Amino acid sequence: MEIDLCFVMDCTSSMGGHIKGAKNAIERVVEYMANMKPTVIVRVGFCGYRDHCDGPNRLQIFDFTNSCDDFKDYLSGISATGGGDAPEDVLGGLNAAVTSITWRNPTRVLLHICDCPPHGRRFTGLLDDYPDGDPNGLTAEQVLREMRSAGIYYFFGKITEYTETMTEVFQSIIGEYPVFDIKSTPDPEGLVEKFFDAACSAINTAITLRESH
């Protein structure tokens, strides 16, 4: 069983309380998957996103690798910085994950973790520098349908209630998908456990879905 697993994560300042736990959980998932060779072979990739005001730091992309150590080294340099208004460049991050990294394996899993919605009135009533939507012209329809046509299964890790409308809009476009509640707990290890369980569940679900087609 060969799997491509891409983590897409909001890396803005508001994620400061979650990013360490998420990074620890991702490392644990990668180590767990590495130990499943040769039955399951997983390539892991990462796409971190911030917001349009963050210039060259808006996107941080690490293409798929078989190396657990290389991936962990890259992840160690990711920090929660930037972000202007409440919404973030969610569509830009997802679009980069779909189009800017080299999906190859037959089972393709994208696990998205964020605490704030995309820009645009259709997603949020929060203070928004781009109330008319993505300034680069990306739409949820365009990004999600490209994801679907590429055979990528989308899963979402929910941290706050601010992403409720985003989930409703996304599911109206591509249908139901699993949403994992990984809201922060007083115990940082609790977040790691929730995230780890979500990632393993996403992989198992994607394998089952692929085998049923």
Question: Would you say residue 194 lies in a domain?
Answer: yes
Q: Side-chain half-sphere of 135: how many Cα atoms within 13 Å?
A: 9
Question: Would you say residue 153 lies in a domain?
Answer: no
Question: Would you say residue 150 lies in a domain?
Answer: no
How many structural domains compose the chain? 1
The model's pTM is: 0.94
Query: Could you read off the pLDDT of 19-42 as tens digits, one per residue?
Result: 887 788 888 888 888 888 788 889
Among candidate residues 35, 22, 91, the one with its CA nearest the CA of residue 58: 91
Question: Would you say residue 155 lies in a domain?
Answer: no
pLDDT category, 52, cuts 50, 70, 90? Answer: very high
Question: Would you say residue 164 lies in a domain?
Answer: yes
Q: Give the domain range for residue 208.
A: 6-140+160-212
Helix (H) or strand (E) holding 155: strand 152-158
Mean pLDDT confidence for 161-182: 95
pLDDT category, 186, cuts 50, 70, 90? Answer: low
Is residue 45 over pLDDT 90? yes
Question: Would you say residue 35 lies in a domain?
Answer: yes
Query: Could you read off the pLDDT of 93-116 as tens digits, one per residue?
Result: 999 999 999 999 999 999 999 999
Query: Could you read off the pLDDT of 191-201 as tens digits, one per residue?
Result: 788 888 888 89
Question: Would you say residue 166 lies in a domain?
Answer: yes
Is residue 152 over pLDDT 70? yes
Question: Would you say residue 74 lies in a domain?
Answer: yes
Distance, in Å, from the CA atom of 99 to the CA atom of 16, rounded to the nearest integer, reads 27
**Looking at residue 107, which CATH number applies to its domain?**
3.40.50.410
Distance, in Å, from the CA atom of 147 to the CA atom of 55, rounded to the nearest integer, reads 25
